[in-house]
Amino acid sequence: MEDNMKDIVDRAQLNWGQLPFDYLKTDAHLEYHFDGEKWDEGEVVEDDRISISMASTCLHYGQECFEGLKVFETKDGRVQTFRPQENARRMIRTAEKVMMVAPPEELFVEAVDRVVKLNTRFIPPYGSGASLYIRPLLLGVTGTVGIKPSKKYLFVVFATPVGPYFPTGLKPVKLWVEEEIDRAAPNGVGDAKLGGNYAAGLRAATAAKAKGYAEALYLDAREKKYVDELGAANFFGITKDGKYVTPQSPSILPSITNRSLQEIARDIGIPVEHRPIDVMELADFAEAGCVGTAAIITPVQSIHYRDHVWVYTGADEVGPITKKLYDTLTGIQTGDLEDKYGWTREISVD
Ligand SMILES: Cc1ncc(COP(=O)(O)O)c(C=O)c1O
């Protein structure tokens, strides 16, 4: 592949086109401390181990949350990220749900810029399909055995180069509708990006994979009647008359990518419905997809529910509306298309 980037002279020697969605240690991360009153300036740390009390509330009582966003190189060698302010706001909302203190929006966004500048060698080249994934992590670090909110917090931001979450990329995946295990309760914390939600989904995801499916698709926990989301992505369907339909539910994570996609869809003339989706309505969709930062847009080949198998597309096909949405979203993210929304944020890496 031709390397278009002029500025990154010592880019890491990695097989950029084949990167898994996994952790690879990079040059440095940032650690910001909240001492009970204020956040510090943040420290650059090369070692990827952190030092916290073994009695920290994050370890025992789940005061831990995170975010995930991506950084892309453009064709002309610029570096940009996608809507980092939205991730900052979501971390603030998540933190409120479990009585944590989140970093202010400006600190969060500045930390993203900073960690990218520390790890420019790991920004995948334009056209590789890979990106630099930024993982902001917030931990309650007061040592206590009592169940109470931490006073002190550690905000860690690291960067690691990744390929798509589903190794198939834009190739369709098969989903399994999970009925035994709930991911999140209706009035619980399913709409927050807390580590515990992901732990709760591990059994279902592992079982689905063992059966040959890419992921479990969860139903609402109250009635087991409506589609919620996947373990790490929102769900959408395209109706036969060309509408974009995506679940509304109190227990799913409000996806920034999904919200962006809804805006793009409306702008290109695709009507959007954000409403509960009865699981039996899955039978009627013409196309279906998974959407999120990590999943990007992953088309769904088929969904298995009880003794139904609903097929949307062949093993190597992508439905026309899904493809159009994918091209538009990734075009904006990688700078190939004009960003009329102001979603991208350029990071100067000189
Ligand atoms: C449970 C869950 N749903 C949806 C998403 C997609 O959200 P976003 O588009 O903001 O990355 C993610 C990934 O972040 C997720 O973990």
Give 214-244 pLDDT, tens digit per residue: 999 999 999 999 999 999 999 999 999 999 9
Nearest-angstrom CA–CA distance, 164 and 218: 21
229 lines ligand 1 (CB under 6 A): yes
Distance in Å, CA 35 to ligand 1 centroid: 30
Our answer to whether residue 209 is catalytic in this structure is: no
Q: Which of 279, 269, 189, 195 is nearest to 232 (CA)?
A: 195
Backbone angles phi, psi at 194, to 5 degrees: -100, 140
Q: Which of 165, 157, 134 is nearest to 69 (CA)?
A: 134
Q: What is the pLDDT of residue 190?
A: 97
The whole-number average pLDDT for the span 24-51 is 98
Per-residue pLDDT tens for 141-168?
999 999 999 999 999 999 999 998 877 6
The whole-number average pLDDT for the span 179-187 is 95
Taking all residues of the chain, what is their mean pLDDT, rounded to a whole number?
A: 95
Assign 4 a pLDDT band (cuts: 50, 70, 90): very low
Q: What is the pLDDT of residue 7?
A: 59
Q: Which residue has the CA at smallest separation from atom 3 of ligand 1? A: 233
Q: Which residue has the CA at smallest separation from atom 15 of ligand 1? A: 232
**Is the separation of the CB atoms in 192 and 253 below 8 Å?**
yes
Of 6, 152, 193, 209, the active-site residue reads: 193
Mutation probe of ligand 1 site: the residue of 197, 234, 235, 263 with most atoms within 8 A of C-beta: 234
Whether 3 shows a pLDDT value over 50: the answer reads: no
Q: Which residue has the CA at smallest separation from atom 6 of ligand 1? A: 292
Q: Which of 115, 121, 117, 120 is nearest to 134 (CA)?
A: 115
Whether 32 shows a pLDDT value over 80: the answer reads: yes
The whole-number average pLDDT for the span 302-318 is 96
Q: What is the pLDDT of residue 227?
A: 98
Which amino acid, 313?
Answer: T
Per-residue pLDDT tens for 72-126?
999 999 999 999 999 999 999 999 999 999 999 999 999 999 999 999 999 999 9
CA angle 157, 76, 121 (to 5 degrees): 35
Assign 2 a pLDDT band (cuts: 50, 70, 90): very low
Atom of ligand 1 nearest to the CA of 260: 9
Q: What is the pLDDT of residue 9?
A: 66
Assign 350 a pLDDT band (cuts: 50, 70, 90): confident
Global pTM? Answer: 0.96
